[in-house]
Structure 1
Amino acid sequence: MGLYLSGDILNKNNPKKLTKVFTEKEYAYRSFFENSPNGNLIFDHQGNLLYSNKAAINMLSPKDKDLLNKNFNLFENLAISPKLSELIEDKGEYQTEINVDEEFIKSYFPYSPISFKEKYLEVRITQQRSSGSPDDFFFVQLRDITEEKQKLDNLKENEILFRSIVENSHEGIFMVDDQYKFVYANDQLSEILNTPKEEIIGEDFRKFVDEDYVEDVAEKYKKRQRGEKVPPRYFIEVKKRGGERRRVELSSTATTKLKGGVKTIAQILDVTDKTEIQRKLNESIEIFNKISDQTFMTILILQDNEIKYSNRNFGSGIGYSKEEIKNWTFRNFIEIIHPKDRDFVLEQARKKQKGLDGTVNHYSFRVIKKDGSIAWQEIYSKSITYDQNPADLIMMIDITEKKESENQLIESEKKFRRIFEAIPDLFFLISEDLTVLDYQGKEEQLYISPEEFLGKKLTNFFSGELNKKVKNAVATTLKTKKARIVEYGLNFDGEMRFFEARLLYYDKNQVAIFIREITHRKRAVNMIKEEYEKLKELDQIRKDLISRVSHELKTPIMSISGALEMLLNLHKDNFQKDQIELLHIIIKNNERLESLIRNLLDVIRIENQRISIAKKNHNINTLIKEVSEEMKIFLKQRRINLSFDLEKDLILPLDKIRIEQVFINLLSNAIKNTPPNGRVIIKTQTKENRCVIVFQDTGIGLTEKEKDKIFTKFGKIERHGEGLEYLDIRGSGLGLYISKQIILLHNGEIEVDSKGRHKGTKFIIKLPLEKSN
């Protein structure tokens, strides 16, 4: 409750009390008390009013001048505690505030007119004692603090408002002293740094700044403290708890109006996400510009009939340079559009720029190039927002070649149709369920009339087996999208005729079928098959004849060979020299005949797949040495130098007799085809888990044509001419053929290499190194 007081200047009805209160000296202060701007009141020890000046009356009740006669009491009317003496004794004085308002007036002065401004008074009370009086009195001073109170209330409201703004700001706001220590931080700063406010206050601001920025921030801080000019805003990075760095925008100001020296008030705004967004936006713009400049399209943005953006392709497709079009307006662009297309393009551009409905996003139009020729442009456009206003995004591509290709395609289609119509084949278009959709062909070629099969299924006209074949072929063609061929026969008036159907993928559920009659071809093929079977029979007769002849010749040849050996061994002395030479000639030719018969028998075995091998582990180098020893006499006769380059301990599974046969053939060939004083070298080595055997000579060599022939059956190479007298041309041409087959039976390879005539020959054998069990 507030209080309202009124009073008189002097209590003239009580002169004795005044005499006690005021001494003669005190009267000298009357004028001071009367004219003081503060209200001065004197109460006796019982709280009764003894004195009040004008200021007190005006403060308490300007309309009531007779406070003394109203029995105005300190304890009752001013609501001062009766224990005032004790309160004053504790502190020397008692001080409080009172609010003079309407409620107080109604309670204590109902007789006083209510016409006032609410006010606040500061009350200060001291206890005094006058000379010569045993009783104390209370001296009360009143001071009008209404204006101060209002200013203080306004200040508090402003402080509340300021604190609300600061605490709810999206920026981190803080204050640091001249030692970089935090003296204030709002909640947003705590969130940005991920650190509780109580852990921020008192900490050094530099602790939260990234090391790369500390020196720069400290320098700016010192300059601002000294009053020097510093950028109002700049960017730094701060460290969150946990080590994460955040990019912030910092602004600050220094003030000397606060207690405790110079303070810096600053705010930081976390722009990490904004920076990242801006970076990505810049990247997107850069990528867009690069794509835009590298694309084959012309890209334009039209707004208010102005070209706001164009890429580097603008103009190049119509013969204008970048320099020529850099100052073009939309009107210049419209002028190059073909007159027949201009109105339509203008109308579309107008609607797009205004964001209206009823537009066409994709169309083509003609433009007039710089040289006067016509070019076709295909346009894709749409309404967009550019700089917060509607605009038309246009993408154009030159389709002149495409248009020309389309025209050519139309012409090609016409030609194709003419050719198609001229093809003698029957054409049918079949659906996935085998319904006949269309056909092309002469009616005399048809099995039944078109009225009977169009719109109906093929399965209605064929037998079960043929239906199954057709169904499978159509399904497979649709699935694989690959062409298929089906052959079938139909009975026409008792005559079997044959047809070939070519199925082509036409659409996702349609197949095109071209049918032609192949009766004559079928008969020719059957005739060829019959002739082929006859040839096979003749070939088998040939094989059987060779086999029988070889076996039949083998017995008398062996008898002749035995008889000749007996003649030479038992009756040599009975023959003359020239007779003995004739016997040796017969023996050599007999041996050749034996070799030929053996080779013929091997060929027969190979062709009938009756040749077999028995593998055992053998040292390949040992076999080479043994074969070379057997051929020693021939080497000597031909004056051939034989050398070896053999890798040690090459053991592998092989058929000893058959491999020796191969080695004899290769070494014999080298001797026969190398001139006197020539060289033959045999090498062995391991390479990639295989044994490699090389027979290399310095002989006649091979041409490319001869290399292709040398491993074939009866692939004997005839070479004659000057300088080739040394060649031994005897042989059947079966040795290398048999040798290759033997190597293949060992899962190996044999090949020949020669740089050409008179450059020698190299036979290379490769056998697997796995050992047999």
Structure 2
Amino acid sequence: MGKFMALKQENNEKIKELEVKLKDLELKYLIKSKELDILHDITSFANEMNDLKEILDNLLSKLINMMNLKGCAIYLYDKGSNLMELKAIKGITGELIQNITVIHPKIKLLPDLKSKTEINILGNYYKIQPDAENSSISSTFLIPLLSKEEFLGLINLVPHELDKLSQNNIEMLVNIGNELGCVIKKFLESEKMQESEEKFKAITEDTSLGIIIIQDRIIKYASKGISNISEFSIEELTGLPILNFFNIIHPNERNEIKKIAIKKESGDLNAPNNISFRIFTKSGKIKWLDVHTKDIIYHSKNAILVVGIDQTEKKLTEEKLKESEEDYRKRTTILEYLNKMIIKGNSAKEVNVFFEEILELIKHLMDVKIVVTYIYEKGKKQLVLSKCIGLSEKIIPFIVNIGYNDSFLQTLMQGKKALYLDDYTIARPKFINFPLTSIIAVPIFDEGNFFGVLSVARDSSNKFSPDDLSVMLMISDILSSVISRLQYDSKLKKSEEKYRTLLETSPDHILITDLNGKIEYINRHPSDFELGTVIGKQIYEFISPEFHEDQKNVIMDVLETGCVKKVVLKGKEPLGYPAWYETQLVPLKKGEIIEKLMYIARDITDIKTSKLKILESEQKYKGIFDENITAIYVFDTEKKFMDSNQAGLDLLGYSLDELLSLSIPDVDGGTVFNEPAHATLLLGEKIENYIHNLQRKDGKMITVLNNSRPLTNENGEIIGMQSTIIDISDRIAAENTLKESEEKYRLISENINDLLAIINENNEFEFINEEIFQKYLEYNETDLLGKDIHNYINKGDLNKAGLSNLILDTIKSGDILLDTRFKHKKGFYLWLEMKIRKFTDKNGKNKALILATDISERRALEEARLEYLKDLEQEISSKSKELRTESKKLQDTLNELNITQELLMETEKLASVGLLAAGIAHEINNPLMGIINYADIVYEELEKTNSINLEIEPYSFIKEIMQQGNRISEIVNGLLSFSRQDQGVFIISDISEVIKSALLLVLPKIRRFQIDLSLDADNNIPKIPMRVQNIQQVIINVLQNSLDALNEKYGLKSKPNTKKISINIKKVFIKETEFVNVMITDNGIGIKKKNLPKVFDPFFTTKKFSKEHGVGLGLSISYGIIKAHKGEIDLKSKWGESTTVVILLPVKNENE
């Protein structure tokens, strides 16, 4: 009985033990069911909801209800700030937040959560007891959110009572934290990829660059920029074989581009990546493209990225600049030749002699085969051949008899007209084999009387143009002016007409107004305005009203300062269209009083109105994920289906009975639970976030996300497996599409050759294409991201454009086009053309996309073009002044030839003009020698008589006559020496004598300005080889500069011995080579230190341009002369004290 009772008691204890284990299993099953329910909800929320906060809010509600919590919250970790950000909260608000705030600094929570995966027996779980005495929260639990051990944040749980959370609940929460961490990770990655796609798409679709991606010889992608450039739609370009695209390339470049494409396709590393060519647009226009190519990987295959920049406006600007340069050179050449003709005309004595001298000049200037002059004999009423060069004498009578008949003469004699035959053989068919086909004949007039004809002819390969006819008319004017001088009649009206021709043919608009703005003159050629509609009108009628105030301010500035001012104005063309002009406003003075204003306006409409083309996005973004189905399956250890929920049946399309007859290999093709994976589960370990394919009953393959874990019995033995399956087919497809899109736009933005940036509402950089910024400006992302863009843009450029805050101005005004200087990392500035467009990101925040192109080269071209135009204007002005000066000299020469006495009184003036004075020197010398000789004879005869005292008056005058005559002879010989034509020959000469002969020409000025001049030469100075006239010119140029410097410092009148010039000549040895050293020193105003490096530069001068001071060529010409003598010239100066010019000439010269 005792044994029975003992056995019964033992059985009862075992039954109780089994009941405890059964309850424990029931509790574990309940908790596991909750866990599966929550995991199912997590995956469902992730597939059904696009907003992370919405997912977290639903999850917290589920946790509070299921676990009877007082409250809970989810925090996400921000790596950048190393802080926790509250993302969702339920139940308790302020207390919970305060609780986290108290806990964190006391236990250094974050470092533990991020670095440890196991603490004591609680696993990935922390239990903390805060010592907040007045807190209503007795305890709190923090569960880390992990994804592959990456810390993403934490879940904070606040229970009503601490004991209600058991070890099983803790393990469940850890699993939930891991699952939720994976979901958050994928969501954040997807969100980041969306932002990346949005950023790169905004960059590529909003740029004006033409972008295409070529793969397998097919255009796989075409941007809106290339569509706008080519005028073909994106649909027409996408899918187009590249060979067909070559058809729009200009034929002149097509074959070369094809060769380059073949080289790149074959992998030739020497194939150029940067090329330039022309294309035909869809409408037939021709555009220039600068193209950059780069090899890329696109959709896992080799491809070529092509980025094209529309350079049409730049090319047009370059062509205009070339035309301006050519026009400038042509006009300069014409002016030089015309000036030579005028100089020869000044010294001419006879018409035929003058014709002989200038026919060769005309032949070279006009590039003709023949030049002929005819004299008109009034009595015979016919032309008589005067002079001819170029063809044989057999042709000359033939030319005369061809067509210079009465009808021809009447044509030429009816006013200022000319005969212009572009094809003479058409006009005279019977002379079909005649060698000359293009002829110009211009009349020569004398005060309205027909004097003769100047004719030039070319062969068929080089026909005349209307410009050639204009030049011939100018030459005719010069001939007429010379004839007028030779006949002692004034031809000043001809000179005036000549200047007007130059003015009227100017490419610029030139207007003259009175001080009230009333137009008094406008040149005809460029303006195309009817003069009657302009003369007498106000200048403001031709300027847009918004520029009136600026114009008035500029006029006031010119009137106050007397200086030339530049301004850009908007006006209108003759047909009324708006036009932009870059205008110089020049004061016209009489003495020091401004009487009128001259406007010189250059049309810059084409440059000013460059259009800004900003592209807009065409596509709206699609959602990444479609709705998916979550399924839960139970398998035995042999992979046979044991159970499934309805979602699982719906997912695969089977009924429950059909599914239970299948095993895993029947639906997965042997890819899911291969032997290593199956072995992992049988070892008691989980398989998480495994992506694979399943085959539905209807044969369709779907992509799923699989999370599996082993199932155990009460003894811990593995009896099966449970899998949570989520259909992510749509999400995978969307992710692949998103990856392709992000890859495409990222590749494009990284490889275009322009600067790209995005700024936020605070004008701070959020994005830059770092490689291009480093290329042009040497900035990297660290330098710019988060920095205010205004710190790098020239504030003057912003103010000029009326901008103060780029992001606000863009939001207010829309798209902005801005030319500005941007600060380089090294401190200097580059010119950029910025195209700024606003856009709104997915969070509704305003941002701006900036596309910037380096336009430094274009700005340099524009500045060079303006500089050329300025030089041309100065040259025309200078030549016009010279022409007027030469005309005045003509009249002076007439007076000097008529009165010998006046000629002697004007010796100083003749000396200053060199060759012109030398022209009359020969005429003076002969009678002067007679006077001296006769005086000498009289003196000798009287001396023989011994009856007359030759030392008393009036007999002493005879000796004075001889002395003064010899003085005049010295001056004449000095002029002849100066004008001697020895420029091409080196002769052995005495440098001291050469300098003395040069001093004769400036001695009158030295005396007039009371300058103390000293000349000191060593006795052993050797004679040296030189071009005498050239060395004299150098000495005169240097002395003239000394005179100017002395007068600038002391004034024209000063005390004696104040102004000093010293000339020292000595022999020196430098590196065993013998030189003659000439040192000229003055105590004048000197030269500023900053100007010393430029004194030998052409056209450099510190003096205002005038007849006396010239245009700054003296020292430049002197430098060239000394270098031609194998010598050296140097200048040393101290501002306000003195200047010394040192000239070294070799004693032995290879030119001698």
| TM-score normalized with structure 2 length | 0.25
Higher RCO (CA 8 Å, separation ≥ 6 residues): 2
Give 1 or 2 for the bigger CA radius of gyration: 1
Provide the TM-score with structure 1 as the length reference.
0.35
